[in-house]
């Protein structure tokens, strides 16, 4: 069969690679992909992710059997709906269901209604009211702009001054929709769940991302600077609690609301003193969580999609190894950065996935976005995997990239305690 992956980042690189190793798959296409994906897929760079009509024509013409949509934007823009009357099966929720990620308010309301544990919140749409609110609210407080912001519309204000500054930043006009959330203290972890209406199969291997730009969880929030799996210091019982209090209830809640969800639900969870709570839901795989989880996954990926589609029982198979992924990003990210700098040494790497590299006129790779690539290290434990991931980082030559030097530190610290 033929599979089409939508997207151009590292997550889509690993999705394409995983699909290419599925036994039922003959060919993998990726739209629009990037220049570093050609070893695992046929890259269709002349169709844009936003060209839904052209994507539909492509699906019909090439008799695609499965479409796997990587990023949130095409889901929220309704690509799944556009492809609904083709013969392809589409892994990724429709426009209505994708609001679970697209609207913080939608997600909060559904959690409130169905008693899914999350931070207390209120939505304030007027700037003056927000300014009054931050004078008296409990501090720390978290401010989240409604709608997609690629991890950048969230301000964790540790002081009242930071909260005031947050209001100034997020209310670009007098009327903006901003969710104000109780600050939750605890360790964050990510759970991916296959969902087909009431059928919900959470991965029994969790991952941990590193959201802040710099070592020691300092600096601004990013899309994610590195990830690892499994997370040995978060016990199985916590995962089971996450599943029974969050994963299954959200699938059931969507059904009760008459929303037809088919795809993946990413649970951004935090382990508080009161147990696991939801920080956010995403309507797709995490990036960079996908790169480490799918590297460790031993099961045939497309077979898993088929089983989810048919609501058949799933037993995920995992390799007996730990996986660490270190993101290399353009200096300046998540703010502004320069593109077009040489990135060399890729031929010496064992395992990596690329988010934003392109070939220049001399056929050399140059950076072309914020997060540029991720090196993958595997090993018997997180420490060994970490060493291997950084050994690969050392082989990359570029003046324009930076990375965190402590990916996996929480697992290593917990082990050495």
Contact footprint for ligand GLY (CB under 6 A)? 209, 223-224, 282, 286-287, 289
280 binds ligand AMP (CB under 6 A): yes
E strand or H helix at 124: strand 121-126
What minimum distance in Å lies between the beta carbon of 144 and ligand AMP? Answer: 6
Chain residues 150-169 in contact with ligand AMP, contact rule CB under 6 A: 151, 154, 156
Residue 365 CB: number of other CB atoms within 10 A? 22
Distance from chain centroid for Cα 357: 19
CB–CB of 68/91 below 8 Å? yes
Of 190, 317, 164, nearest to 247 (Cα)? Answer: 190
What minimum distance in Å lies between the beta carbon of 93 and ligand GLY? Answer: 15
The site partner of 65 among ligand AMP, ligand GLY, none (C-beta below 5 to 8 Å per kind) is none
The site partner of 119 among ligand GLY, ligand AMP, none (C-beta below 5 to 8 Å per kind) is ligand AMP
Distance CA 296, CA 170 (A): 39
Query: What number of helices (H) and strands (E) belong to the chain?
Result: 14, 23
The site partner of 142 among ligand GLY, ligand AMP, none (C-beta below 5 to 8 Å per kind) is ligand AMP
The site partner of 145 among ligand AMP, ligand GLY, none (C-beta below 5 to 8 Å per kind) is none
CB–CB of 96/250 below 8 Å? no
Among 219, 220, 232, 268, binds ligand AMP (CB under 6 A): 268
- Residue identified by tokens 């392109």 is 358
Chain residues 60-119 in contact with ligand AMP, contact rule CB under 6 A: 119
CB–CB of 298/18 below 8 Å? no
Contact track, ligand AMP, 393-412, x by CB under 6 A: --------------------
Cα distances from 329 to residues 47, 230, 334, 339, in angstroms, run 25, 24, 9, 11
What minimum distance in Å lies between the beta carbon of 320 and ligand AMP? Answer: 29
What's the token pair of residue 93? Answer: 């929720």
What minimum distance in Å lies between the beta carbon of 207 and ligand AMP? Answer: 13
Cis before 133 (ω within 30) = no
The site partner of 68 among ligand GLY, ligand AMP, none (C-beta below 5 to 8 Å per kind) is none
Contact track, ligand AMP, 202-231, x by CB under 6 A: ---------x---------x----------
184 binds ligand AMP (CB under 6 A): yes
| Cβ closest to ligand GLY, residue 152 vs residue 164 | 152
What minimum distance in Å lies between the beta carbon of 156 and ligand AMP? Answer: 5
| Cβ closest to ligand GLY, residue 34 vs residue 291 | 291
Q: Which residues on neighbouring strands pair with residue 134, listed in sequence order?
A: none
Residue 254 CB: number of other CB atoms within 10 A? 23
CB–CB of 178/123 below 8 Å? yes
Query: Using the 8-state DSSP alphabet, how is residue 246 labeled?
Result: I
Residue 11 CB: number of other CB atoms within 10 A? 26
139 binds ligand AMP (CB under 6 A): no
Cis before 334 (ω within 30) = yes
Region of 34-42, 67-75, 183-191, 348-356 interacting with ligand AMP (CB under 6 A): 183-191
| Cβ closest to ligand GLY, residue 2 vs residue 212 | 212
Task: Tell me, by CB under 6 A, how many residues bind ligand AMP.
Answer: 16
By the criterion CB under 6 A, which residues form the site for ligand AMP? 119, 142, 144, 151, 154, 156, 181-184, 188, 211, 221, 268, 279-280
């Amino acid at each position: 069969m033929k599979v089409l992956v939508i997207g151009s980042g590292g997550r889509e690189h690993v999705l394409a690679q995983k699909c290419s190793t599925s036994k039922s798959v003959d060919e993998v296409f990726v739209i629009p992909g990037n220049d570093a994906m050609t070893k695992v897929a046929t890259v269709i760079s002349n169709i844009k992710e936003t060209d839904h009509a052209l994507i539909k024509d492509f699906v019909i013409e090439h008799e695609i059997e499965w479409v796997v949509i990587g990023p949130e934007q095409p889901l929220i823009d309704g690509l799944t709906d556009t492809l609904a009357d083709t013969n392809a099966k589409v892994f990724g929720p429709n426009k209505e269901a994708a609001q679970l990620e697209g609207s913080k308010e939608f997600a909060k309301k559904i959690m409130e209604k169905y008693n899914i544990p999350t931070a207390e919140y209120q939505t304030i749409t007027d700037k003056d009211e927000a300014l009054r609110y931050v004078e008296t609210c409990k501090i720390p407080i978290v401010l989240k702009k409604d709608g997609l912001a690629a991890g950048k519309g969230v301000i964790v204000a540790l002081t009242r001054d930071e909260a005031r500054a947050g209001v100034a930043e997020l209310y670009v006009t007098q009327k903006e929709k901003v969710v104000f959330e109780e600050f939750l203290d605890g360790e964050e972890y990510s759970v991916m769940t296959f969902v087909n209406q009431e059928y919900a199969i959470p991965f029994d291997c969790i991952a941990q991302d590193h959201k802040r730009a710099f070592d020691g969880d300092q600096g601004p929030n990013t899309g994610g600077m590195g990830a690892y799996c499994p997370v040995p210091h978060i016990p199985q019982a916590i995962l089971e609690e996450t599943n029974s209090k969050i994963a299954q209830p959200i699938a059931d809640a969507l059904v009760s609301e008459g929303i037809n969800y088919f795809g993946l639900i990413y649970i951004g969870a935090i382990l508080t003193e009161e147990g696991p709570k939801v920080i956010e839901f995403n309507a797709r795989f995490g990036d960079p969580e996908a790169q480490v989880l799918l590297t460790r996954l031993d099961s045939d990926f497309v077979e898993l999609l088929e089983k989810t589609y048919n609501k058949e029982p799933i037993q995920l198979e995992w390799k007996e190894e730990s996986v660490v992924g270190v993101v290399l990003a353009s200096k300046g990210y998540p703010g502004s950065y320069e593109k077009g700098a040489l990135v060399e040494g890729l031929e010496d790497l064992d395992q990596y996935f690329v988010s934003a590299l392109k070939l220049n006129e001399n056929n050399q790779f140059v950076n072309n976005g914020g997060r540029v690539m991720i090196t993958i290290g595997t090993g018997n434990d997180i420490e060994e995997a970490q060493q291997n991931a950084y050994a690969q980082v050392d082989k990359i030559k570029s003046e324009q990239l930076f990375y965190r030097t402590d990916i996996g530190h929480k697992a290593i610290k917990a082990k050495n305690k």
